[in-house]
Structure 1
Amino acid sequence: MVTVTVSVKEKAPVKIGAAIALTGKYATSGQYYKMAWDLAVDEINSEGGINGRKIQLILIDDQSNPTNTANAYTKLIQENGVIATFGPFTTDCTVPAANIVEKFKVPMLSAGSATAALYQRGYKYYFGVFPPTDAYIPPIMETFNSLKDEVKTIAISYESTDWGKELGSKLKDAFTNAGFKVVVCEERENGGMDYTPLLTKIKSLAPDAYLDAGHTTDEILLARQSKEIKFNPKIWYGGLTADYNFLKNIGAKDAEGVMGSIAYSSNARTQGNRQFVDAFKKRYNVDEVEYHAGIAYAAAQVLFDALKRAGNNLSPEAIRNAIAQTDMETVIGHVKFDNTGKDMYSFMPLVQIQNGKYEIISPSTVATAHVEFPKPAWGG
C-alpha cells in the first residue's frame, strides 16, 4: 500500500506592526505594551487566527525617541507590509506616527497617547482607546469640589510635552472656573534630573494641593524630592503615578495618600478582565497587571475584532472601516468611536494609594474607597 502525504500550504499571515519603546526612558512602559500584545496575539492564533490566517506582530524599538517613530512606521508599511498598526507610547511619539499612517492610509489603534488635539486634526485612519486629557478632569474635580472647605489654593506643574502642556492647561482652567485659586502653573523639563528648585518655589507658596502632569519616571523623582524638602501639601497628585513602578520605587509608606489618574484597573469588573489578568499573571509570573498592559490588550481586542469583521477583504481601507464601526465590550469597558476616532465611552478614574493599593476614589459610581484626606506626611 502506498501512502500519499498531501502538503497543505499555510495561509500567509496577517501582518500588523508597531513602534514601541523597548529601550530608553519609556522602556518599562513599552515592555508592558509588548507583553500584552504578545499575549493577545498568541491567544487569537491559538484559536485559529483571523479567518484561518495567523497574526504576525512586527515590532520596532523607537528607543523612546520621537525622531525615530516616523521612520519606523514608514518601514513597517513600505518594507514589512503591515496592513494595520498599534500606536507607540507617549504623545510625542504618536503625533509623527499618526501623520505617517494617515499618509499611507493604514489604520492605527492607539493605546499610548492621551492628547485630545490628535482628535482635532481630521485624521481618518487614527483611532484611540486611551482616554484623552478631557477625561482626566471630571473625576479630579469631583473629588476637589467635595473638599472645597479644606482646599483653596492649587499649584500645578507640567512636563514640556504636548500632553503635559495640554493637561496642565486644562487643569488650570478647570480649577479657576470652579473658584479655586491657582497660585502657580509652571512648565518643567521632561526627564529632568533635579526638580528641587521648582518644588522649593512651589513650597514657598504654601498651596493646599499640588498637581503635576507628568510621566512615571518624573513623578518618582518629584515625590522623592518633595520628601527631601519636606513639601507636604494636603493633596499630592501625579498624572501617571497610578503605575506600579511608582509604588515599587517610592514604597507604600511614602506613597500613602498620593493621587493619580488611571486608564485601566486590574480590579475592574469589565467583560473578560478577570481572564486577562489571570492569563497575564501566569504567563509573566507577576503579582500585578500594570495599566499600560490593560490598555494595550484592549487595543488588540478592538483591532482583532475589526479584522474578523472585515472578512476576507483585509485591505487597510476595509480594516479602517471595520474599526470605525466598533461597538464592543473590552477589558477597559465599552468601546465605540465617534467620527474623530475617539472612544466615546472612555473615562479616567482618579485613584489614591491607600495601604499599598490603588483605590478608585472618583467617579463615585465606580469608587472602591473614600478619599484619604489630608495626605499623610512623607513616610507617615
Structure 2
Amino acid sequence: MQMINRGTASVALAALILAVLGAACNGSTSSGTTNTSPIVMAELFPISGREAFVGQWFQHGAAAAVHDINNNGGVMGRPLNETLADTGGDPVDAVTAFHKLLLQNPTFMVGPSSLEIQGVVKLIDSAQLVDFMEGGTSQMDHMQYKYVFRTSASDTTLTAAMAYYAIQKGYKKAVMFFETTSDAADERDHVTKFYTANGGQILDTENLALHQSSYQTEVAKAFAFNPDVVFVKTDPQTGSTLFANMRAQGHLNVPLVSDDTGSTVDYAKAVGLDAASKYLVGVSGSPPSGPAWGHYLADYNAVWNTDKPLPLSENTYDAVVIAALAMTEAKTTDGKVWVDHILKVSNPPGTKCYIYADCVKLLNAGTKINFEGASGPDDFDQYHNTFGDWDITQFNADASSSTVVLHVPADAIAKYMAG
C-alpha cells in the first residue's frame, strides 16, 4: 500500500474544500457542471404562542413564492428548500431557534416578526445572513444593519392610518386600551401623537397586563369619559376578556379601531362576530391590482386552494422573490456578495417587472430591473425599509369576507406623520 504524507494530504483536502465551497457559491460544481443542489431558505416564525396567527401569515406568503420560483427554473437552476424554526413569539426563544436554523447552513432567512426581532437582529448581522424581517415595529425604522431588510411597512405608518380614519369619521374624543408589550406601547405613543396633532383628544389610556381574568375596572374608568371611539391593541386572548367586560357594562357599541390584528378573524371572534361587523375596523396593507398581485393570487391559490390570502402574506412572498432575483443578478448564492444586489433589483431606475420569470429573463439579457411586487413598489430606503398604502377593513357578520371602508394613501399618511 502506498503511504501518503499527512501534511500533503491535509493541504490537498483543504484545497478541495475551498474549491467545492467556491463552486457552490457560484452555482456550479468543480467539474464545471451546473449545481442543482437545493438552496436553503430559513424561516424564523412564531408558529406557537399568543400570536401564532402571525407565523401563519408569513408561512403562507413564503410558500407561495417558493412554488412560483421552483416552477420557473429555481434560482440559477437550483430549487429553494424551506426550513422552519418556531420562535413561540418570544425574543429569548428566538435566539435558540435562530441557532437551530444556522445548523442548516441557510443562504438567507425570512422572519422573524416584530415580536422577536430585537432578540436576534444583532446575531443575524454578525452571521452575515441576508434576512427579510416581517412586522412593523418602529424600533426598526432607522436600522443600520447591512444584512437585514423589511418588506412590510412600519407600524409608524399603520398608526398614522388608524388616526387618519378616526379623524375622517369625525371621532374627536378617544380612549385607549393597549397591552403592556413594548411593541404595543410604541404603537400607543404614535397613535396618540398623530391623533392629537390632527385635532383629536385622548381622554384616557388604559394599559392592560396580558391575559388577566378581568378588566372591569379599566373598562369602567375609560367609559366614564363617554368616548366617540376606542383605539385598541391586544392579542385575541386579552381582547376576548376585554370585550366581554365591555359587553357586560353596555359599552360594546362604540367604534373600535385596531391595528393589523383587527383585520384577523381571530380578533373578530374575540369581539364577537356580530359586534365586530358593526364596530371593529382593522388596518391591512392595501394590495395593488396590477400584474404582480394577480400573479400572486394564482400562486397562492395553487398552494393554499384559496384566492383570499392571509394578511401581510404578500410581504413574505415579495421578500423571497427579491432574494431570488438578487442572487440571479449577482450570479452567486454567497450572501456577502448578493446582499449588495438587493437594491439593484428592487429599486429604480430600471425596467419595471412584476413576475419572477419575466424578471429573470430581463436579468439574463443584461437588463437593469426594478421589481414591483404583490405588496407594492418594494423600494427600500437607506434604512432598508419600504412604504405603502393602507386599507381600513371591516368583516361581515360571519367573518367570511371583509370590506374596505376607507383607503388611506401613502401621501395622506406622510402628511399625518409630518403633523
TM-score by length of 1: 0.83
Q: Which has the higher helix share?
A: 2
d(CA) in 1 for partners of 2:304 and 2:270?
20
| Alignment partner, residue 215 of structure 2 | 195
User: 2:391 is matched with which residue?
Assistant: 349
Query: Which of 337, 360, 363 matches 2:407?
Result: 363
Shift of 1:354: 5.1
Name the aligned partner's letter for residue 245 of structure 1.
D
The CA deviation string for residues 129-165 of structure 1, in whole angstroms up to 9 with x for no partner, is 11112212343333333333xx331111222222211
Tell me if the contact between 2:65 and 2:299 (Cα under 8 Å) persists in the aligned partners: no
Please say which of residues 95-104 and 282-291 is displaced more in the overlay. 282-291
Asked if residue 320 in structure 1 is aligned to residue 339 in structure 2, the reply is yes
Q: Is residue 162–residue 257 contact of structure 2 (8 Å, CA) maintained in 1? A: no
| Correspondence 1:175-324 to 2 at 5 A | 175-232=195-252, 234-239=254-259, 240-247=261-268, 250=271, 252-256=273-277, 257-263=279-285, 265=287, 268-286=288-306, 288-311=308-331, 313-324=332-343
> Which range moves more in the overlay, 50-59 or 219-228?
219-228
- Paired with 2:306 and 2:337, the residues of 1 have a C-alpha distance of 38
Change (3 A) 1:85 1:191: farther
1:377 counterpart residue number:
none
8 Å contact 1:86–1:110 — kept in the other structure? yes
Q: Specify the alignment match of 1:137 in structure 2.
A: 159
Matches within 5 A, 1:81-160: 81-89=105-113, 91-111=114-134, 113-148=135-170, 151-160=171-180
Aligned partner of 2:377 in structure 1 is: 334
Kindly tell me: are residues 264 and 147 of structure 1, through their superposed partners in 2, closer, same or farther at Cα, counting changes over 3 Å? Answer: closer
Q: 2:42 aligns with which of 11, 14, 17?
A: 17
Q: Equivalent residue for 2:23?
A: none
Return the alpha-carbon distance in structure 2 between the equivalents of residues 190 and 15 of structure 1: 37
Counterpart contact for 2:63–2:303, Cα < 8 Å: no
- TM-fit CA distance, 1:197: 3.0
* Separation in 2, partners of 1:251, 1:234: 14
**C-alpha separation in 2, matches of 1:200 and 1:38:** 45
Residue-by-residue CA offset, 1:214-270 (whole Å, 9 max, x unaligned): 3444444433432233214542112211013334565542212311111355xx414
The answer (yes or no) to whether the contact 1:270–1:332 under 8 Å persists in 2 is no
Contact 1:108 1:125 in 2 (8 A): yes
Shift, 1:42, TM fit:
2.6
Max Rg structure: 2
Provide the secondary structure at the position in 2 that maps to 1:75. helix
1:152 partner letter: K
Residue identity matched to 1:181: Q
Q: Report SS of the residue matched to 2:174.
A: strand
Return the offset for 1:288: 3.3
Distance of 1:179 and 1:129 partners within structure 2: 31
Q: TM-score, normalised by structure 2?
A: 0.76
For residues 98 and 122 of structure 1, the distance between their equivalents in structure 2, rounded to whole angstroms, comes to 11
Distance 1:47 1:287, change over 3 A: closer
Which residue matches 1:60? 85
CA contact (8 A) 1:14 1:55 kept: yes
Q: Residues 257-288 of structure 1, C-alpha deviation per residue, up to 9 Å, x if partnerless?
A: 311111355xx414332333344345334573
CA distance in 2, matches of 1:317, 1:349: 37
On the 8 A contact 1:210/1:235 being kept in 2, the answer is: yes
In the alignment, residue 37 of structure 2 is paired with which amino acid? A
Tell whether the 8 Å contact from 1:241 to 1:259 is kept in structure 2 after alignment: yes
Instruction: Tell me the secondary structure at the aligned position of residue 115 of structure 2.
Output: helix
Q: Secondary structure at the match of 1:333?
A: coil
Which amino acid in structure 2 is aligned with residue 349 of structure 1? D
Shift in CA distance, 9/304, structure 1 to aligned 2, threshold 3 Å: closer
Tell me which amino acid in the other structure corresponds to 1:140: M
Q: Secondary structure at the match of 1:168?
A: helix
Residue 44 of structure 2 corresponds to residue 44 of structure 1: no
Q: Gaps (5+ residues) in structure 2? A: 1-32, 348-370, 411-419
Counterpart amino acid of residue 361 in structure 1: V
Q: CA deviation at 1:76?
A: 2.2
Report if aligned partners of 2:41, 2:106 keep a CA contact under 8 Å in 1.
yes
In structure 2, relative to structure 1, the CA distance for the partners of 1:192 and 1:36 (3 Å cut) is: farther
Aligned to 2:357: none
Taking structure 1 as reference, are residues 59 and 164 closer, same or farther at Cα in structure 2, changes over 3 Å only? same
Say what the alpha-carbon RMSD is for the aligned residues. Answer: 2.6
Compared with structure 1, are the counterparts of its residues 364 and 215 closer, same or farther at alpha carbon in structure 2 (3 Å cutoff)? same
Q: Which amino acid aligns with 2:157?
A: A
Shift of 1:170: 0.7
- How many residue pairs match? The answer is 350
Give 1:340 deviation, angstroms: 0.6
| Shift, 1:33, TM fit | 2.1
Counterpart Cα distance in 2 of 1:25 and 1:137: 22
CA distance in 1, matches of 2:223, 2:290: 41
Per-residue deviation, 1:10: 5.7
